[in-house]
Amino acid sequence: MKKSIEKVLVINSGSSSLKYQLFDMATETRLAKGLVERIGCGGPATHAEALKQVVAELGDAAKGIDAIGHRILHGGETFRDSALMTKANMAKAKKLVKFGPLHMPANLGGIEACERTFRGVPNVGVFDTAFHIATMPDCAGMYAIDPKYYKKMGIRKYGFHGTSHKFVTQAAAKFLKKPLSKVNLVTCHLGNGSSLAAIRSGGVVDTSMGLTPLAGMVMGTRCGDIDAAAVLAIMEAEGKTPAEMDVILNKKSGLLALAGSSDCRDICAKAAKGDKAAELALEMLAYRVALYIGAYNTIVGGADAIVMTGGIGENSSEVRERIVWRLGALGVKLDKSANKVRGELKAISAKGSKIPVVVIPTNEELMIARDTVRILGK
Ligand code: ADP
């Protein structure tokens, strides 16, 4: 008989940090969590060394790990679900490094380090794009440019935060007491990076991020949706290279450019003191979210619920209120008192609201651990 998978280590191996959580999946409880920072810049020299530090920190808890789940940024169109990272799958994943030159080598390096450190323990890759790419139709996923760019370079929409959207979709189905295959939702992951997903019959039919996480919402440091011609105009006028423009759009735009901080708490505090730039930044953020909720409600054929998650979605009553009052045409009504909730699962819409609005704390690490168990049980 196959040994059941109980003790699961979850690894999020980034370019300069390695986050981990250890779960007992018999009860879905977290046994340990930690973070190794400054890899390659003052701390451990490599991801393998960082992993040694993790083993040391875990002590006895590092014994008897049944499986390891890894967060991986990009699965392209190759990975439509999480997958056991065999030699063949590692080779396929390495072909996708072009989609995430910064993150993918670190993600895959984390797997290779685990193969050496935890000999014989299976590694499962959980891709941030897979939940979207599994079911998103071409009418939502393709860009209206010459299809040769899709064929040659894979230029299309992939979407990100899939693990979070999947977790809250499952949690929302449970909350609504509906089978997953019958649930229609608009899920809003609002954090430092933000994305919305349109969920029809339990699967993604559209999402706001694109080829990269730059598209869609107004984010901490990313501009989100912008006329591509505006980008070209800036490049031309200021003689910027593509690499310089990448930094401007991904790291120096969004809330940071509009109001001087990428942290939504700072912006809320400034707006409360009457800072006009901060006020406009919050309105732009909320407007864009409401715009997409309206669109996605149409696309899913009427949502059973609107879900708010991520650092802002879970905690900021202020931002939620600025979004929800814009949804009057959908018959959505806010319960101001319920909207005070922070970091807990709770409906924040009033009784008469046509669509419930629900705050659901996300748990990407637990989702990765659940997928790891599911993949190995196949
Ligand atoms: P990441 O995308 O990096 O995982 P998070 O999901 O943790 O980020 O979200 C971080 C964002 O959440 C920050 O902009 C932070 O200001 C915001 N946030 C957290 N708590 C609050 C709050 N109480 N009010 C407003 N914003 C908040």
Determine the straight-line distance between the first and last CA of the chain, rounded to whole angstroms: 14
Domain that holds residue 53: 7-127
Last residue of a domain, one of 127, 144, 167: 127
Q: Answer whether residue 138 is part of any domain.
A: no
The Cβ of residue 261 has, within 10 Å, a number of other Cβ atoms equal to 17
Residue 169 lies in a domain: no
Nearest to 102 by CA among 216, 313, 251: 251
**Rounded (5°) CA angle 365-369-372:** 140
Assess if residue 302 is contained within a domain.
yes
Flag whether 160 is in a domain.
no
Nearest by Cα to 75 from 92, 58, 87 = 92
- What is the H or E stretch that residue 126 is in? strand 123-127
Q: State phi, psi for 345 to the nearest 5 degrees.
A: -70, 120
pLDDT for res 135: 98
Residues 308, 320 contacting (CB under 8 angstroms): yes
Q: Which atom of ligand 1 is nearest to the CA of 342?
A: 23
What is the structure's pLDDT at 42? 87
Q: Are 97 and 106 in contact (CB under 8 A)?
A: no
Distance CA 312, CA 5 (A): 34
User: Do 75 and 223 lie in a common domain?
Assistant: no
Q: Which residues of the chain fall short of a pLDDT of 70?
A: 1-2
CB of residue 315 inside a 6 A radius of ligand 1: yes
- What local confidence, expressed as pLDDT, does residue 2 receive? 57
Take atom 27 of ligand 1 and give the residue whose Cα is closest. 312
Same domain, 122 and 186: no
Q: Is the CB of 264 under 6 A from ligand 1?
A: yes
Q: What pTM does this model have?
A: 0.97
Q: Indicate whether 190 and 94 sit together in one domain.
A: no
Q: State residue 246's pLDDT score.
A: 96
**What's the rounded Cα separation, in Å, for the pair 68 and 23?**
10
Helix (H, G, I), strand (E, B) or coil at 144: coil
CB of residue 268 inside a 6 A radius of ligand 1:
yes
Q: What is the CATH number of the domain that holds 230?
A: 3.30.420.40
Question: Cα of 312 to ligand 1 centre, how many Å?
Answer: 5
**Structural domain count, the chain:** 2
Residue 346 lies in a domain: yes
> What is the reported pLDDT for 338?
98
DSSP class per residue in 351-375:
TT-SS-EEE----HHHHHHHHHHHH
106 CB within 6 A, ligand 1: no
Q: Are 120 and 185 within one domain?
A: no
| Domain endpoint, select from 127, 151, 186 | 127
CA distances from 10 to 13, 132, 219 (A): 10, 21, 27
Residue pLDDT, tens place only, 38-70 = 998 888 989 899 999 999 999 999 999 999 999
On whether residue 350 sits in a domain, the answer given is yes
Q: Of the residues 128, 206, 335, 371, which is catalytic? A: 128
Q: Are both 103 and 16 inside the same structural domain?
A: yes
203 and 324 inside one domain: yes
Shared-domain flag, residues 188 and 112: no
Residue 128 designated active-site: yes
Same domain for 108 and 211, yes or no, is no
SS3 of residue 107 by DSSP: helix
Asked whether residue 157 is assigned to any structural domain, the reply reads: no
The pair of structure tokens assigned to 137 is 């139709």
Pocket test for ligand 1, best of 187, 315, 342 (most atoms within 8 A of CB): 315
Does residue 191 sit in the same domain as residue 323?
Answer: yes
Please, are residues 10 and 368 in contact by the beta-carbon 8 Å criterion?
A: yes
Q: In terms of domains, do 224 and 310 share one?
A: yes
193 lines ligand 1 (CB under 6 A): yes
Q: Which residues pair with 20 in a beta bridge?
A: 11, 34
- Strands 7-13 and 67-72, by their bridges, are parallel
Res 305: pLDDT: 98
Q: Could you tell me if 241 and 360 lie in one domain?
A: yes
Rg over alpha carbons for the chain, rounded to the nearest Å, is 21
Same domain, 24 and 121: yes
Among residues 88, 94, 31, 35, the alpha carbon closest in space to that of 61 is found at 31
Q: Tell me, in angstroms, the distance from the centre of ligand 1 to residue 190's CA.
A: 8
Domain membership flag for residue 261: yes
Which of 192, 267, 268, 363 to mutate for ligand 1's pocket (most ligand atoms within 8 Å of CB)? 192
Ligand 1 centroid, distance to 193 Cα (angstroms): 9
Outline where the chain has alpha helix (H): 47-58, 87-94, 104-117, 130-135, 138-141, 148-153, 162-176, 228-238, 242-251, 254-259, 264-272, 276-299, 310-315, 317-324, 364-377
Residue 261 near ligand 1, beta carbon < 6 Å? no
Would the CB of 316 count as within 6 Å of ligand 1? yes
Residues in the chain: 378
